[in-house]
Structure 1
């Protein structure tokens, strides 16, 4: 497992979340038992039941930390105890705030991979985030041909071999972030929209089902949250400021 090392700044004590900002947090999910116990106390009964269904201890612990941290950060933004956060779920399972808490306009999304989590927050705009560990895949070309758009397959094929892992996960995280922000999950075909993927090239949503106008509704940003990982965040509108921190 790649050790968790991030160059993102440490978290402020209690950050506000103005409408024009988008916040992303990175956190290691590998936590000592006392912290695990604390996060467990934040969880609702359905979350505890889900945690107990994990077969492997590390998967159970990662879920508890991710969900507990999400509640803690939401509680900080809403000035509520973490255990009082209430969730509702969209048709494809995307969580959102329920009941009166939804009137805050606070939107969020979470992703985790190989023990590292990204959590994104915005007000009055949908947000999607994804993270992956960069690693060589023997079947990267086959996966690309199956799931990437025709244009992305052509671009990916031209990337030098040593840059292919970065390019592959650039594309994958950007695509995952988009299907999460629109709340459609895997019901949205991954080849129905184009993103940039070349290493060093700015992240951008190029077209959605042939429409550049639809793509222009969204702003996509590349993230470098930790050593050996790549991420992407996307949100409605284009005039927002991205701020990011690592959770201690």
Structure 2
């Protein structure tokens, strides 16, 4: 397996420590299900693909089975033809990606589900920028909820993300938002994406998996 720049993935995986988060961008094909995810995690764990097994928690988040879940944490998300995988040690990452497209009901959804301050900030933007900002907020909030181990049922209004760059987490119901890291990811003009975790800052290393890997 190699990156689009020809780097060996096993060498990259060997460099994952407690000071970084590895984020992988790859083509998504629904027919392959979780096989690309299993193959990548197998490289990190030094396991053959068929030895990488998952269990879904009560909120539907896939985790590695024991004892591998003590060594490596991950999260993944996909939208249309693109997927992202976040891999870390000693923190549980959350990641989300969404294809950018016209969303005429963005403000109606924000008014119904978002924190009031986020909705107010969106209303101040011109329409084209508002649709992009809505997705940046959505992916940021989803990333936090995934890292928290909760789904959308937790409530999108129970966290407040800055609607303008850098998009940090300002408030989280029942937790100290200052203990969280939230970053937007540059994955091209056609997508919005974010990654989050609870803990100290870490370097984010973004790689793209070659399609023939």
When normalised by structure 2's length, the TM-score is 0.90
> Contact conserved, 1:86 with 1:101, CA < 8 A, in 2?
no
Cα offsets for 1:89-111 (capped at 9, x unmatched): 2111111111221231x110000
Cα offsets for 1:152-197 (capped at 9, x unmatched): 0000000122211210101010011111111111221100110012
The answer to whether 1:92 aligns with 2:59 is yes
Find 1:117's aligned residue among 83, 105, 118: 83
Q: Secondary structure at the match of 2:188?
A: coil
> Contact conserved, 1:11 with 1:245, CA < 8 A, in 2?
no
Taking the aligned partners of 1:230 and 1:10, their CA distance within structure 2 comes to: 23
CA distance 1:11–1:167, change in 2 (3 Å) = farther
The answer to whether 1:207 aligns with 2:174 is no
Q: Secondary structure at the match of 1:75?
A: helix
When normalised by structure 1's length, the TM-score is 0.78
The answer to whether 1:143 aligns with 2:109 is yes
CA distance 1:11–1:193, change in 2 (3 Å) = farther
Aligned position for 2:156: 190
Aligned position for 2:21: 22
Deviation at 1:11, TM superposition (A): 6.2
Deviation at 1:214, TM superposition (A): 1.0
> Contact conserved, 2:137 with 2:167, CA < 8 A, in 1?
no
Aligned position for 1:69: 36
> Contact conserved, 1:220 with 1:235, CA < 8 A, in 2?
yes
Which structure 2 segments of 5+ residues have no match?
none
Deviation at 1:203, TM superposition (A): 2.1
Structure number with bigger Rg: 1
Deviation at 1:9, TM superposition (A): 6.6
Find 1:154's aligned residue among 87, 101, 120: 120
> Contact conserved, 1:11 with 1:247, CA < 8 A, in 2?
no
Number of residue pairs aligned between Structure 1 and Structure 2: 204
Find 2:132's aligned residue among 126, 146, 166: 166
Which structure 1 segments of 5+ residues have no match?
1-7, 31-59
Taking the aligned partners of 1:11 and 1:25, their CA distance within structure 2 comes to: 14
Q: Secondary structure at the match of 1:99?
A: coil
CA distance 1:166–1:216, change in 2 (3 Å) = same
> Contact conserved, 2:74 with 2:86, CA < 8 A, in 1?
yes
Aligned position for 1:42: none
